[in-house]
Structure 1
Amino acid sequence: MDFGRLITAMVTPFDKQQEIDWGQTAKLIDYLIEEQRSDSLVVCGTTGESPTLSDEEKLALFRFAVKQSNGRAKIIAGTGSNDTRHSVHLTKLAEEAGVDGILAVTPYYNKPSQEGLYQHFKAMAEATKLPVLLYNIPGRSVINLSVETTLRLAQIPNIVGTKDCANLEQLTVIATAAPAHFKVYSGDDSMTLATLAIGGYGIVSVSSHIIGSTMKSMIEAYLQGDVKHAAELHQQSFPMFKGLFECPNPVAVKYALGLRGLSVGGVRLPLVAPSEAEALFLQNLLNN
């Protein structure tokens, strides 16, 4: 399974009652695939506000995304949590819903050892025939999935890659030592070009909601050997890469989508809407 170079971690549209807005979800999926050129979509990841979604909502989103995408992009289901049994359960439901792959985040809050991390991801992988992407996000989970544990997990046949947000040094070592089938994605938009340069494969992105087409052009330019143009596109995109994280994710990108005419609604508590100053900053960012 090749998930492509540009994967968008999709927001979950809500209506005014904070329920899933299915009409806007359909529009968003079409927009991300057709206009922003996403190869794959992560549904119910962090950017999709997975901590505030019920299992019933997640399963409905998996099914809806599969149907709406209709083969135009791969659908990757965020099924990880800090409870291995629950993660396994949701992974099985996602497979039954027809998704193309699984995104499995490092367990947060309970701070397992590296052996605990290995056994957690191994259990998830063994529960499905689908390809699994690991997701290492130390800034949110407090623990780091080490290089050694990542490479150990890479030996499991259906663990096919990692979205790693640690640092470029860690990505470099993994990309150097991993099996040929194992792909390294950055989870930091601003590191997209650098990740390609050290042998990584692509990006799992938030900014691609707004500048996905430009990011895809940057990736293509680099792969075609036009490093100068790729660098120019990176520099052009850099303010957006940083600016969309001025608020806790996905507060800023949801607001930005609204400014672009895609009404994806607000965020569920404990997240809150941008402050007046943050909203003005985002308005200026999108107008430049």
Structure 2
Amino acid sequence: MQGIYTAIVTAFKEDGSVDEAGTRAVIRHSTDHCRADGIFVGGTMGERFKMTTKEVKDLLRIAADEASGKADLAANITALADEEILELAEEAHRLGYTAAALVPPVFHGYSQEEIVNHYLYIADHIPLPLLVYVIPSFSKVDFTEEMLVRLLEHPNIIGLKYTHNDYYLLDRVRVRCPEASIFTGFDDVLLHALLMGTDGAIGGTFNLTGAFAKKLYEAVKAGDYALALRYQRKINDVEDMLNETGLFPTIKAALACMEVPCGQLKRPSGPVTEAQIEQGKRICEYLKRNGG
């Protein structure tokens, strides 16, 4: 696995069910316009943690069909119960996904040993390769270097989705595990992460800035770091605008402005506001002016 993966938003209908037509439009925008190397389905940006297992399985099916022959596919298989994790992994494998990602178990406050054993158990029992989803801001789990290295020694744990700002830890793991597939989950430091040896990125803002990210990635591969920096700054300009009015709803507002209908956020999140709609229009104009 390598390259730029869009962590797609999920389109929802007014009743909160998955909007298949809208979700297909989101995927087409990433594959056809942004030239994404891969699609990450059911992630944080996709609001997976508001969805039932059945809804996630429907989403996996829609994405597999729409992205077929265009992009690689990876699935977030996180759930509270092991049985549901295994069920999602089996479905992703049946549909042709390349890999799965898994957030550490949360809520009950597990020990480091329990967390490691959880990943090892899942890796032993699923039919596709696993990425450890490192996201301490949401999971409240702080992986140590030794935990990550131990996990990456398992033959079915192939890498990390690293949504964390500790790049010293990332460097130490990369040095000790040179064969691991490591993806940054922070779009605003994509250039920095690539220079530190990551294999690409799995990012939510790539729903909008994916074309910039792909050009940045290609510039790094070509050794044109000045060009890569220019694209990083374009990505960060958009991130600034998103953060002013709220990341998740403003991404949806901007996509709607680009004629990519993806509806509202799923409850309990509130509706997209007028301020977010107007900001979405400004982001659209920025992307048009800058070739995004």
Q: TM-score, normalised by structure 2?
A: 0.91
Rounded to whole Å, the distance in 1 between the matches of 2:244 and 2:108 is: 28
Which residues of 2 match residues 47-86 of structure 1 at below 5 A?
47-86=45-84
**Shift in Å, 1:206:** 1.1
Contact 1:101 1:130 in 2 (8 A): yes
2:174 maps to which residue?
Answer: 175
Contact 1:246 1:278 in 2 (8 A): no
The DSSP-based 3-state class of the residue aligned with 1:157 is coil
The DSSP-based 3-state class of the residue aligned with 1:88 is helix
The DSSP-based 3-state class of the residue aligned with 2:45 is helix
Contact 1:15 1:265 in 2 (8 A): yes
Q: Deviations over 1:210-251 (max 9, x none)?
A: 121111101110111111111111112212134334455532
2:128 maps to which residue?
Answer: 130
The DSSP-based 3-state class of the residue aligned with 1:214 is helix
The DSSP-based 3-state class of the residue aligned with 1:234 is helix
User: Against the structure 1 CA distance between its residues 66 and 147, is the aligned structure 2 distance closer, same or farther, given a 3 Å change threshold?
Assistant: same
Shifted more, 215-224 versus 139-148: the winner is 139-148
2:30 maps to which residue?
Answer: 32
Q: Are residues 1:223 and 2:221 paired?
A: yes
**Unpaired stretches in structure 2, ≥5 consecutive residues:** 287-292
Letter in 1 for 2:135: I
**Shift in Å, 1:204:** 0.7
Shifted more, 188-197 versus 248-257: the winner is 248-257
1:92 maps to which residue?
Answer: 90
Q: Are residues 1:159 and 2:157 paired?
A: yes
Provide the aligned length of Structure 1 versus Structure 2. 285
Q: TM-score, normalised by structure 1?
A: 0.92
1:250 maps to which residue?
Answer: 248
1:186 maps to which residue?
Answer: 184
Contact 2:29 2:260 in 1 (8 A): no
**Unpaired stretches in structure 1, ≥5 consecutive residues:** none
Q: Deviations over 1:109-133 (max 9, x none)?
A: 2232211111111122112231111
**Shift in Å, 1:42:** 1.2
The DSSP-based 3-state class of the residue aligned with 1:250 is helix
User: Against the structure 1 CA distance between its residues 145 and 243, is the aligned structure 2 distance closer, same or farther, given a 3 Å change threshold?
Assistant: farther
User: Against the structure 1 CA distance between its residues 77 and 284, is the aligned structure 2 distance closer, same or farther, given a 3 Å change threshold?
Assistant: same
Rounded to whole Å, the distance in 2 between the matches of 1:249 and 1:135 is: 20
User: Against the structure 1 CA distance between its residues 169 and 243, is the aligned structure 2 distance closer, same or farther, given a 3 Å change threshold?
Assistant: farther
Letter in 2 for 1:215: A
User: Against the structure 1 CA distance between its residues 242 and 137, is the aligned structure 2 distance closer, same or farther, given a 3 Å change threshold?
Assistant: farther
Rounded to whole Å, the distance in 2 between the matches of 1:263 and 1:42 is: 19
The DSSP-based 3-state class of the residue aligned with 1:270 is coil
Rounded to whole Å, the distance in 2 between the matches of 1:273 and 1:243 is: 19
Contact 2:254 2:284 in 1 (8 A): yes
Q: Deviations over 1:121-178 (max 9, x none)?
A: 1122112231111111111111112221111111111211101122222221121211
2:43 maps to which residue?
Answer: 45
Contact 1:82 1:106 in 2 (8 A): no
